[in-house]
Amino acid sequence: MIRFSELMSGQTLLPIIQADTPEQGVKIAQAMANAGLTLVEVVLRTDASLDALKAIKEQVPALKVGAGTVINTDILEQALAAGADFIVTPAVSPQLLAALTKCNVPVLPGVSNTGDILMALEYGFEEQKLFPASLAGGAPFVSAVSSVFRAASFCPTGGVSEQNKMDYLSLNNVFAVGGTWIANKEWVAQENWQAITDSCIQALK
């Protein structure tokens, strides 16, 4: 099984796409690809999300496209059937983790406390998403658990911004950060795709 960090190929930003239509999702994804990104996460929070994921894979083939907000086995099956290149969850449970271990694509399970971290490790997931990072203790929490859970590494998401991303990325147990700030809702509403490209370029510096 390919590790999630290997799939990212050194990309330290996990860009999150929330689309109201497949067409909108493709425009956002193309803007991100224009910045040199090779991997994006489509969060399954709208009725159009799965169709957006499929459309991005078809129309922006340079991108690896994963599914986020996978909270149960039904959604997991739908995401895999749609062709998701990877799976991201906002939380964990024994039932969900058991299903995730059977996936044939990389998985990033979501944790928010030490119990979650331990449970994910018990199921074999050393790479984890800390969510919501800002409310779960932020960079100080990630730093504090590094000596206890030495095998675990994190992709903090939730409250991460251009201003605080380096607080996380400077830590040895953080391999990437995720966020929506690079695709501001106002830019999407205004169809200002260049602003998204510029924001992604800045985030990759």
Rounded CA-CA distance 92/70 in Å is 10
The phi, psi pair for 172, rounded to 5°, reads -65, -25
Query: Which of the following is catalytic: 27, 54, 129, 165?
Result: 129
Residue 185 structure tokens: 């809702």
**Active site (annotated) includes residue 129:** yes
In 3D space, the residue among 86, 89, 83 whose CA is nearest the CA of residue 66 turns out to be 86
Rounded CA-CA distance 130/5 in Å is 15
Query: Which of the following is catalytic: 27, 41, 64, 127?
Result: 41
Rounded CA-CA distance 181/184 in Å is 5
Say if CB 41 and CB 18 are below 8 A apart: no
Say if CB 103 and CB 80 are below 8 A apart: yes
Q: Which residues pair with 39 in a beta bridge?
A: 64
As annotated, the active-site residues are 41, 129
